[in-house]
Amino acid sequence: MTQQNNNPVTSKVWFITGSSRGFGRVWAEAALKRGDRVAATARQLASIADLKEKYGENVLTLALDVTNAEQVKAVVAQAHAHFGKLDIVLNNAGYSLVGTIEEGSAEDIRAEYETNVLGPVAVIQAALPLLRKQGGGHILGTSSNLGHVTLPVIGYYCSSKWAFEAIHESLALEVKAFGIKVTIIEPGAYATEFGSPESLKFAAGLDIYEDFKMQFFNSLREMERGDPGATPEAMFKVVDSENPPLRINLGSNNLSWTRAVYAERMATWEEWDTVAIAAQGTSK
């Protein structure tokens, strides 16, 4: 059972992007229910207006398009000034481009990266000077188990999460000396609104892939999905830890899938290792 903390001095302050639906909404409400304070952001302010009605002064609702770097900087500063600190900066906003590699246009791919990669970077860059000045903080990023493995048809989404993972792993090494912690959240399949039209964008289709995509979508429908409402306790364990992990899976199927994929990669690398070693050449 989560302990409720209504003391504004000791309660944590969260800054969350993508708070209107999915995990962002679940985690924002869970944090507020336990007595934490939250700067909840979303593209459309009306989509999070009810949080203000429910939680009063413990929540600050702000309109934010993470692809607008100037707006990001202003909103992060506003949230910090309002609460006097930001303990947790959670990059959660994102969407999936649906289409094969051949079908994705440069415009579609660029837009995906603007939201899923450059948006979170803008939030991080806006928050870091404030976190350093206050003596620490915790940056969390919602990635996916698809940050390690891939699926067809959403390859560009997977690639955005691979980039997201690399950025946060480098960040963790760079900011450790400032007392700033970094954790990558890696959910598996969950029954969130992530599959809704608001969270998906479809590339223009080619007829040659229609059967393949239909089989893919049918396999997704059969996939076991977790309960988003079961995730807040794991999040609280992470943010309350003195030594949080760099990565944490959410869900019961991630590790077995990732383990199998990495075992296959290791086997291939080892099989071709003599070729790799020969390619080193002779040192001069």
Reply yes or no on whether 143 is catalytic.
yes
Q: List helix spans (H) across 34-68.
A: 49-55
- CA nearest to 97, candidates 142, 50, 158: 158
- CA nearest to 174, candidates 220, 130, 139: 139
Reply yes or no on whether 213 is catalytic.
no
Q: Count of CB atoms within 10 A of residue 150's CB?
A: 14
Expressed in angstroms, the distance from the first to the final Cα of the chain is 64
Is-contact 92 142, C-beta < 8 A?
yes
Of these residues, 11, 19, 143, 144, which one is catalytic? 143
127 Cβ partners below 8 Å, 6+ apart?
A: 15, 76, 80, 86, 89, 137, 139
Of these residues, 156, 157, 181, 190, which one is catalytic? 157
Reply yes or no on whether 54 is catalytic.
no
Edge-to-edge order in the sheet of strand 59-63: 59-63, 37-42, 13-16, 88-91, 137-142, 180-187, 247-250
Of these residues, 161, 181, 190, 213, which one is catalytic? 161
Look-up of token digits 């964008």: 201
Look-up of token digits 């969390």: 140
The residues assigned a catalytic role are 143, 157, 161
